[in-house]
Protein backbone atom coordinates (compact mmCIF):
# COMPACT_ATOMS: atom_id res chain seq x y z
CA UNK A 1 0.00 0.00 0.00
CA UNK A 2 1.28 3.48 -0.84
CA UNK A 3 1.52 6.22 1.77
CA UNK A 4 1.09 9.83 0.67
CA UNK A 5 3.00 12.62 2.40
CA UNK A 6 3.13 16.36 1.86
CA UNK A 7 6.35 17.62 0.31
CA UNK A 8 6.53 20.43 2.90
CA UNK A 9 4.30 21.38 5.88
CA UNK A 10 2.37 24.24 4.23
CA UNK A 11 1.75 22.55 0.90
CA UNK A 12 -2.05 22.52 1.14
CA UNK A 13 -2.21 26.14 2.26
CA UNK A 14 0.24 27.17 -0.48
CA UNK A 15 -1.84 25.45 -3.16
CA UNK A 16 -5.01 27.15 -1.88
CA UNK A 17 -3.28 30.56 -1.96
CA UNK A 18 -2.09 29.95 -5.54
CA UNK A 19 -5.67 28.99 -6.48
CA UNK A 20 -6.93 32.22 -4.91
CA UNK A 21 -4.42 34.23 -6.91
CA UNK A 22 -5.49 32.49 -10.13
CA UNK A 23 -9.12 33.23 -9.26
CA UNK A 24 -8.45 36.92 -8.67
CA UNK A 25 -6.32 37.50 -11.80
CA UNK A 26 -7.98 40.03 -14.09
CA UNK A 27 -9.17 38.59 -17.40
CA UNK A 28 -10.98 39.98 -20.41
CA UNK A 29 -14.75 39.57 -20.41
CA UNK A 30 -14.51 36.84 -23.06
CA UNK A 31 -12.17 34.74 -20.94
CA UNK A 32 -13.78 35.64 -17.63
CA UNK A 33 -16.90 33.54 -18.32
CA UNK A 34 -14.68 30.50 -18.95
CA UNK A 35 -12.54 30.85 -15.80
CA UNK A 36 -12.36 27.47 -14.02
CA UNK A 37 -13.08 27.41 -10.33
CA UNK A 38 -9.49 26.99 -9.23
CA UNK A 39 -10.22 26.97 -5.50
CA UNK A 40 -12.93 24.33 -5.71
CA UNK A 41 -10.68 22.16 -7.89
CA UNK A 42 -7.87 22.51 -5.34
CA UNK A 43 -10.14 21.43 -2.50
CA UNK A 44 -11.40 18.47 -4.54
CA UNK A 45 -7.83 17.42 -5.33
CA UNK A 46 -6.82 17.39 -1.67
CA UNK A 47 -10.01 15.59 -0.68
CA UNK A 48 -9.15 12.81 -3.12
CA UNK A 49 -5.43 12.59 -2.32
CA UNK A 50 -5.27 13.36 1.41
CA UNK A 51 -8.76 13.41 2.92
CA UNK A 52 -7.46 13.36 6.50
CA UNK A 53 -5.24 16.43 6.02
CA UNK A 54 -7.75 18.88 4.50
CA UNK A 55 -10.12 20.79 6.74
CA UNK A 56 -13.64 22.16 6.37
CA UNK A 57 -12.47 25.09 8.50
CA UNK A 58 -9.86 25.96 5.84
CA UNK A 59 -12.58 25.86 3.18
CA UNK A 60 -14.80 28.12 5.29
CA UNK A 61 -12.09 30.73 5.93
CA UNK A 62 -10.95 30.61 2.30
CA UNK A 63 -14.54 31.26 1.27
CA UNK A 64 -14.88 34.16 3.70
CA UNK A 65 -11.68 35.68 2.34
CA UNK A 66 -12.97 35.27 -1.23
CA UNK A 67 -16.28 36.88 -0.19
CA UNK A 68 -14.39 39.92 1.05
CA UNK A 69 -11.98 40.08 -1.90
CA UNK A 70 -14.65 39.66 -4.57
CA UNK A 71 -17.36 41.78 -2.94
CA UNK A 72 -19.82 38.89 -2.81
CA UNK A 73 -22.42 38.43 -0.11
CA UNK A 74 -20.64 37.50 3.10
CA UNK A 75 -20.83 33.73 3.37
CA UNK A 76 -21.66 32.94 -0.25
CA UNK A 77 -18.26 31.49 -1.14
CA UNK A 78 -17.75 30.24 2.41
CA UNK A 79 -20.88 28.10 2.17
CA UNK A 80 -20.01 27.01 -1.37
CA UNK A 81 -16.43 25.94 -0.68
CA UNK A 82 -17.41 24.19 2.54
CA UNK A 83 -20.08 22.20 0.69
CA UNK A 84 -17.66 21.42 -2.16
CA UNK A 85 -15.10 20.05 0.27
CA UNK A 86 -17.69 18.16 2.30
CA UNK A 87 -19.13 16.47 -0.81
CA UNK A 88 -15.64 15.72 -2.12
CA UNK A 89 -14.62 14.18 1.21
CA UNK A 90 -17.75 12.02 1.29
CA UNK A 91 -17.28 10.87 -2.31
CA UNK A 92 -13.49 10.46 -2.12
CA UNK A 93 -13.85 7.08 -0.42
CA UNK A 94 -15.50 5.78 -3.58
CA UNK A 95 -13.09 7.36 -6.07
CA UNK A 96 -9.81 5.87 -7.20
CA UNK A 97 -7.19 8.67 -7.37
CA UNK A 98 -5.73 7.13 -10.52
CA UNK A 99 -8.95 6.84 -12.59
CA UNK A 100 -9.57 10.21 -14.20
CA UNK A 101 -13.05 9.57 -15.61
CA UNK A 102 -14.37 8.83 -12.10
CA UNK A 103 -12.89 12.09 -10.91
CA UNK A 104 -14.41 14.03 -13.81
CA UNK A 105 -17.85 12.61 -13.05
CA UNK A 106 -17.44 13.53 -9.38
CA UNK A 107 -16.34 17.06 -10.29
CA UNK A 108 -19.33 17.46 -12.60
CA UNK A 109 -21.69 16.55 -9.75
CA UNK A 110 -19.94 18.59 -7.05
CA UNK A 111 -19.40 21.74 -9.11
CA UNK A 112 -22.91 21.47 -10.53
CA UNK A 113 -24.34 21.49 -6.99
CA UNK A 114 -21.97 24.33 -6.05
CA UNK A 115 -23.09 26.43 -9.01
CA UNK A 116 -26.75 25.67 -8.27
CA UNK A 117 -26.34 26.90 -4.69
CA UNK A 118 -24.58 30.05 -5.89
CA UNK A 119 -27.33 30.57 -8.48
CA UNK A 120 -29.95 30.25 -5.74
CA UNK A 121 -28.10 32.82 -3.59
CA UNK A 122 -27.81 35.17 -6.56
CA UNK A 123 -31.52 34.71 -7.28
CA UNK A 124 -32.54 35.47 -3.71
CA UNK A 125 -30.50 38.67 -3.78
CA UNK A 126 -31.84 39.75 -7.18
CA UNK A 127 -28.58 39.22 -9.08
CA UNK A 128 -29.69 36.31 -11.25
CA UNK A 129 -27.54 35.85 -14.36
CA UNK A 130 -29.59 36.11 -17.55
CA UNK A 131 -27.37 33.92 -19.68
CA UNK A 132 -26.30 30.31 -19.97
CA UNK A 133 -22.72 31.61 -19.67
CA UNK A 134 -23.10 31.11 -15.93
CA UNK A 135 -22.54 27.36 -16.46
CA UNK A 136 -19.38 27.68 -18.58
CA UNK A 137 -16.97 27.43 -15.59
CA UNK A 138 -18.36 23.95 -14.95
CA UNK A 139 -17.17 22.76 -18.34
CA UNK A 140 -13.85 24.61 -18.25
CA UNK A 141 -13.16 23.16 -14.78
CA UNK A 142 -13.78 19.65 -16.08
CA UNK A 143 -11.52 20.36 -19.06
CA UNK A 144 -8.57 21.60 -16.95
CA UNK A 145 -9.00 19.02 -14.16
CA UNK A 146 -6.39 16.52 -15.43
CA UNK A 147 -3.81 19.32 -15.70
CA UNK A 148 -4.64 20.75 -12.26
CA UNK A 149 -4.61 17.30 -10.69
CA UNK A 150 -1.20 16.58 -12.21
CA UNK A 151 0.28 19.97 -11.22
CA UNK A 152 -0.98 19.71 -7.65
CA UNK A 153 0.63 16.29 -7.34
CA UNK A 154 3.95 18.18 -7.18
CA UNK A 155 3.02 19.00 -3.56
CA UNK A 156 2.87 15.36 -2.49
CA UNK A 157 5.31 12.48 -2.16
CA UNK A 158 4.25 8.83 -2.43
CA UNK A 159 6.25 6.15 -0.64
CA UNK A 160 5.81 2.42 -0.68
CA UNK A 161 4.64 1.08 2.64
CA UNK A 162 5.29 -2.56 3.40
User: Tens-digit pLDDT profile for the chain (162 aa)?
Assistant: 577 888 888 999 999 999 999 999 999 988 999 999 999 999 999 999 999 999 999 999 999 999 999 999 999 999 999 999 999 999 988 888 788 999 999 999 999 999 999 999 999 999 888 889 999 999 999 999 999 999 998 988 877 765
Q: At 37, which CATH number?
A: 1.10.1760
**Structure confidence at residue 95 (pLDDT):** 84
Per the structure, how many domains does the chain have? Answer: 1
Dist CA 119 CA 121 (whole Å): 5
Distances (CA, A) of 44 to 37, 47, 70, 112: 11, 5, 21, 13
User: Would you give the end-to-end CA distance of the chain in angstroms?
Assistant: 7
**Structure confidence at residue 40 (pLDDT):** 98
Amino acid sequence: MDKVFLRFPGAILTSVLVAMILTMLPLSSGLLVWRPDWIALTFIHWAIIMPKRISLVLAWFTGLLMDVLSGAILGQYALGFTLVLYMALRLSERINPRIIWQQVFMIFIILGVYLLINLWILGVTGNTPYSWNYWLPLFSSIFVWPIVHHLLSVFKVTRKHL
